[in-house]
Amino acid sequence: MVVSYKSSYTVKPAEPTWTGSLSLSEWDQIGTITHVPTIYFYQSSPKLLIDTVITTLKDSLRRALVHFYPLAGRLRWIGHGRLELVCNAAGVQFIEAESQSKLDSFGDFSPSPEYDFLIPSVDYTIPIQELPLLIVQVTKFQCGGISLGFTISHAVVDGQSALHFISEWARIARGESLAVSPFIDRKLLRAGDPPVLPRPILDHKEFNHPPLLIGQTNNIEERKKKTTVAMLKLTKSQVDKLKNMATNKSLNTGRPYSRYETIAGHIWRCACKARDHKPEQPTALGVCVDSRSRLQPPLPPGYFGNATLDVIAVSSSGELISKPLGYAASKIRKAIMTVNDEYVRSGIEFLKSQADLTKFQDLHALGGDDGPFYGNPNIGVVSWLTLPIYGLDFGWGREVYMGPGTHDFDGDSLLLPNHDDHEDGSLVVALCLQVSHMEAFKNHFYQDII
């Protein structure tokens, strides 16, 4: 696909905003600290006039940045693998582009290398203090439709906060007032404070590096292997079958397993089969848990930052495969249930006591191999099932498709509601695996639903 880049602007807040250094919490500075891409597609409509679209988006973005001013700032390293956010109104980058392609050419909009032309790339050879935290690209297609590609710094926001910003930006574009103002101060998660010692620290397995393949001393070779992405759909009937399999054939005596616990367990088991592990192979599944409502007191509405943390479920491939689905789901539930106020605050203290945070950061996008690796023999399953990812209307109607950008990291997976039928309980698994494992995974994924 040929894309012509027409112009690039720096968009700054429409009014003066607070300036100064904003401390980041420990949760902001671990895991993925690079940019995360998403994309929205809009069909041609009488309201979708490109000149009006560009003017509306830039004007409303300026006004949105008055409220969400940290996004107009820049990060800087302060030593020992730690960052702070400089609120200086340097602005975000806004790119205009055109393509001779038509939206019809994307078929079902499954992520493909063509997305690389529609979502802004980030040049990490540039010093971090010069990189915009948000880059937006609007691409006009020959058919009159557009795509809206975002890439946003995960060191500044998690998925919940990113969607909060984008949805409020859309409200402003429609001429409405904010629904929920952002809560900027991260002191509630003790951002910038020294560690409180002595304090008992719980066992945080998620801060250890996940298992390696038996016989290997590092994961360098696994990181190098070529990967591919698949979008695997599950109907409500298939989801219900899996939930029944997990609950009916387990020793679970509590509430039925959730969609996440069930589907994540199914993905985990299928990955072990597709990768043809030895029965004794240790394997971990990374679970991303939102702590906002798990803290006491809960974080205020609109908390703007990272409030999610990763926990892990651990087993052996042999146990996962030989035991019913409920076994995998129970392991995942147990990991999720550990996340309470005490656990979150213990994790904060553990990280504050570390001399350097680099080993806890996923620097894959920067070419680093030191961070945690959830590729073979491990996997990560992130849920977008409860996030308000659909219905983004800037004044010309909702999108025809929204999804993640390209992701090429073995073991990355996302659970999304099915865009066209997201209220009926069907969903989509966006999965990245090594090319040599994908076909076997697909076979197990559907054949094991009995």
Q: What is the pLDDT of residues 198-234, one digit of tens each?
A: 666 788 888 888 899 999 989 888 988 999 999 999 9
Give the pLDDT band (50/70/90) at residue 55.
Answer: very high
pLDDT class of 425 with cuts at 50, 70, 90: confident
Mean of the per-residue pLDDT values of the chain: 92
Annotated catalytic residue 393: yes
Q: Is the pLDDT of residue 252 over 60?
A: no
Q: pLDDT for 3-41, tens place per residue?
A: 999 999 999 999 999 999 999 999 999 988 999 999 999
How far apart CA 387 and CA 160 sit, in angstroms, is 7
**Cβ-count burial 64-101 (b if 16+ within 10 Å, e if not):** bbbbbbbbbbbbeeeeebbbbbbbbbbbbbbbbbbbeb
Per the annotation, the verdict on 310 as an active-site residue is no
Residues 6+ apart with CB under 8 A from 354: 360
Rg (CA), the chain: 22
Q: Supply 241's token pair.
A: 């079958």
Which residue of the set 35, 67, 154, 266 is catalytic? 154
Q: Among 116, 393, 408, 448, which one carries the catalytic annotation?
A: 393
d(CA 158, CA 12): 22
Most distant CA atoms of the chain, gap in Å: 64
- Nearest-angstrom CA–CA distance, 162 and 197: 33
Question: What is the value of pTM for the model shown?
Answer: 0.93
**Residue whose entry in the numeric block shows the structure tokens 């597709």:** 274
